[in-house]
Amino acid sequence: MGEMLGLGLSHYPGFIYPDHDMAMRVKQTMKSDRVPVALKDPRNWPAPMQQEWGTDEGTTFAAKHRAAFVDGVRRLRQLLDGFNPDAVVIFGDDQYENFQEDLIPPFSVYIGNQFQTQPFVRGRGGGTPQPNVWGEDREATFTTPGHAQLAKHLTRRLLEDGFDMPYSYKFHHMHGLGHAFINTLLYLDYDRKGWTYPIVPFHVNAYGSSLVRNRGGSANLFDKALGEMEPDPPAPSPRRLFALGQAIARIVKDSPYRVALVGSSSWSHAFLTEKNRWMYPDVPSDRQRFEELRTGNYLAWRNLSLGELEQAGEHEILNWIPMVGAMHELEQKPVFCEFIESYLMNSSKCVAAFPPND
Ligand SMILES: [Fe+2]
């Protein structure tokens, strides 16, 4: 009988780069004509955001933000090594990387025995590559084993269960894993102990109505035509993704596999939160999500509407919902659940672990 460990973490690109550069997003957003002039002055920001900005444009706060996250991912790695999975299934979004205008599936499984990725060749936000905090070469290649057998098994059984599962044997517009998957691995191996667990990358179209319009980021804030574009068709619903996670839990339980299931994303993103003029995330909504998660009120997540999530800039929470649906199915509760709050660093982060019941 299979077993499952649930994990949740962020794949925030800011942790790849030095602390003095962590507030880069907000500085970039301030250059948009769509941001009101008053909000370009830190004195008009919410008080906690001003404190984070401090006297050094967020560098001091960045070190604390990183330390809290790294503590969390070290704890996750310890639990992961203790669980010793046969495979790690990662749910992650695609930000106009592998999926573009020619095909956007609601979700999709990558079936492969090996993935090769060069995470540092592209700079943050598509800009010039900067040095990373590990001092690794710009051309460094990470080779990650894939669990093609489990990927096929999941795809087959999900199709039999009524989920019309897209899958692919090769990348389409990308060479290597997208940011959501490779950053998750970079952080779960923050201390570079090495990574040998085979993975199954499970793509979720989390950006939905903003995917092409935003070019997976904030292009709509700088390109007038994109800003005026009709929204794209929506993401899959929280209810559907929750049911998908429940089905995966049942499939794994009936299999011989020990599987770690990872929901990967930060929660509300500043650049997706229109009501805050894209300058800071919806921290109160995230706090509410955190209380629901911490107390095991998973059904509250299933019952969220896409509209609520998008208004809160919480599009990427869709990456966590299949994992949370699986935890609901297996009645697994968090042993560790930390909320790492920030107004300035584009998003708050959550780190959580849900081990199997004895
Ligand atoms: Fe992402």
Categorize the per-residue pLDDT at 259 as very low, low, confident or very high, splitting at 50, 70 and 90.
Answer: very high
Cα dist from 291 to 100, 118, 300, 350, whole Å: 35, 37, 10, 11
What is the Å distance from ligand 1's center to 254 Cα? 31
Residue pair 244/325 in contact (Cβ under 8 Å)? The answer is yes
What is the Å distance from ligand 1's center to 339 Cα? 18
Q: What is the pLDDT of residues 301-330, one digit of tens each?
A: 999 999 999 999 999 999 999 999 999 999
What is the Å distance from ligand 1's center to 216 Cα? 8
What residue numbers bound the domain in which 235 lies? 3-354
124-135 mean pLDDT: 86
Local structure of 266: helix, strand or coil: coil
What is the Å distance from ligand 1's center to 138 Cα? 21
User: What residues does 87 pair with on adjacent strands?
Assistant: 259
User: What residues does 90 pair with on adjacent strands?
Assistant: 201, 262
Q: What is the pLDDT of residues 131-151, one digit of tens each?
A: 999 999 999 999 999 999 999
Residue 46, pLDDT score? 98
What is the Å distance from ligand 1's center to 348 Cα? 13
Q: Cα separation of 279 and 141, whole Å?
A: 34
What is the Å distance from ligand 1's center to 215 Cα? 12
Q: What is the pLDDT of residues 44-73, one digit of tens each?
A: 999 999 999 999 999 999 999 999 999 999
What is the Å distance from ligand 1's center to 272 Cα? 11
What is the Å distance from ligand 1's center to 10 Cα? 9
What is the Å distance from ligand 1's center to 93 Cα? 5
Residue 286, pLDDT score? 98
Element (H, E) at 353: strand 349-354
Average pLDDT, the chain: 96
What is the Å distance from ligand 1's center to 20 Cα? 21
CA-nearest of 9, 93, 1 to 336 is 9
Q: How much of the chain exceeds pLDDT 70, in percent?
A: 99
Residue 150, pLDDT score? 98
- CATH code of the domain containing 319: 3.40.830.10
284-308 mean pLDDT: 98
Residue pair 277/250 in contact (Cβ under 8 Å)? The answer is no
Q: What is the DSSP-derived secondary structure letter of residue 144?
A: E
149-159 mean pLDDT: 98
**Planar angle of CA 82, 331, 255, nearest 5 degrees:** 65
Residue 225, pLDDT score? 86
Residue pair 179/68 in contact (Cβ under 8 Å)? The answer is no
- Residues whose Cβ atom is located within 5 A of ion ligand 1: 93, 180
User: What residues does 54 pair with on adjacent strands?
Assistant: none
What is the Å distance from ligand 1's center to 12 Cα? 7
Domain count, the chain: 1
Residue 16, pLDDT score? 97
What is the Å distance from ligand 1's center to 276 Cα? 20
Categorize the per-residue pLDDT at 175 as very low, low, confident or very high, splitting at 50, 70 and 90.
Answer: confident
> How many angstroms separate the first and last alpha carbons of the chain?
13
What b/e readout covers 132-152, taking b as 16+ CB neighbours within 10 angstroms?
beeeeeeeeebebbbbbebbe
Q: Cα separation of 213 and 222, whole Å?
A: 11
What is the Å distance from ligand 1's center to 96 Cα? 10
What is the Å distance from ligand 1's center to 177 Cα? 12
Q: Which of 1-5, 125-129, 172-176, 351-355 has the lowest mean pLDDT?
A: 125-129
34-39 mean pLDDT: 96
